[in-house]
Amino acid sequence: MSHSPTRPFDSATATHIARAFLPSFPLGNRWDYYYTRAKLGSDPLYPGVLQALRGSDAPVLDLGCGLGLLAHALRMDGQHMDYRGVDNDADKIARAQKVADRNGLTNTRFDVVDLANGPPAHHGSVAILDVLQYLSMEDQRQLIANTIAMLVPGARLVIRTALGDDTTRGRTSRVTDRLANWVGWMQFRPKCYPDADAMRAQLAAAGLHSTFEPLYGNTPFNNWLIVASKSG
């Protein structure tokens, strides 16, 4: 596993994207703006995902999309494929749709979907970002199998997840995820952190070529970017 050169957005880019989340009136709640600004400036997640999706015009399904940051990053990057974000948090979905509409994001929609009942129908690329650890091992395998079936020629399966190990980064990821649930930012506590070898074997068995790269950035977390596509 080689180290990825991917870095977080620079300050100007992070601020530019985050400004979409400023309230529409001066005394409005700025929590989403400060959260997105901090995340974009410290976490290389979105530069990594943008790099993975470049060169494909397949529609993107973003599973567990939260506030829909990926949609804003894609448009900033000049990627205009259809985008659909789904999440089980109705409040975040409402805020995501409101911000997208206010900022004129085209070919973009958000829906409330509980992945415990299975993902929605889709044909194209799929992003699963910081979601897998909230599922059981069996549910992880089933979700990955479902998303593999969604891939069309030229599409990519892009996964960002903390991996299960006993490193300092691994332990920090587990504690932070529990804290996010405790303060109410995440609705659920993590259940199982994916095993890299098991994921690689599942992707290979489905005929996919995959890469696993660390995506640490300026964070203490054990985050990795997995990109898979059909061989040939």
Q: pLDDT tens digits for 91-105?
A: 999 999 999 999 999
In a domain, 127, yes or no: yes
In a domain, 28, yes or no: no
Would you state the pLDDT for residue 184?
Answer: 58
In a domain, 112, yes or no: yes
Q: Is 62 helix (H, G, I), strand (E, B) or coil?
A: strand
Rg (CA), the chain: 17
CA-nearest of 86, 93, 94, 98 to 62 is: 86
This prediction has a pTM of 0.89
Tokens of 18: 């985050």
Domain tally, the chain? 1
Q: What element of type H or E holds 13? A: helix 11-18
In a domain, 58, yes or no: yes
> Which tens digits make up the pLDDT trace of 43-67?
999 999 999 999 999 999 999 999 9
Would you state the pLDDT for residue 181?
Answer: 60
Tokens of 113: 């979907």
* Cβ–Cβ < 8 Å for 83, 60: yes
Strands (DSSP E) found in the chain: 60-63, 83-87, 108-112, 125-129, 157-162, 208-214, 223-230
What are the backbone dihedrals phi and psi of residue 175, each rounded to the nearest 5 degrees, phi first? -65, -45
210 CB burial (10 A radius; 0-12, 13-18, 19+): middle
Distance between alpha carbon 195 and the CA centroid of its chain, in Å? 18
In a domain, 14, yes or no: no
What is the rounded distance in angstroms from the CA atom of residue 119 to the CA atom of residue 134?
A: 15
In a domain, 122, yes or no: yes
CA-nearest of 119, 194, 117, 113 to 150 is: 119
What is the rounded distance in angstroms from the CA atom of residue 200 to the CA atom of residue 45?
A: 20
Would you state the pLDDT for residue 169?
Answer: 74
CATH number at residue 128: 3.40.50.150
CA-nearest of 76, 207, 56 to 123 is: 56
Q: Give the chain's residues under pLDDT 70.
A: 1-5, 170-171, 173-174, 177-188, 232
In a domain, 147, yes or no: yes
In a domain, 88, yes or no: yes
- C-beta neighbour count of 43 within 10 angstroms: 22
Would you state the pLDDT for residue 2?
Answer: 38
Would you state the pLDDT for residue 26?
Answer: 84
Range of 179's domain? 43-230
CA-nearest of 133, 120, 145 to 195 is: 133
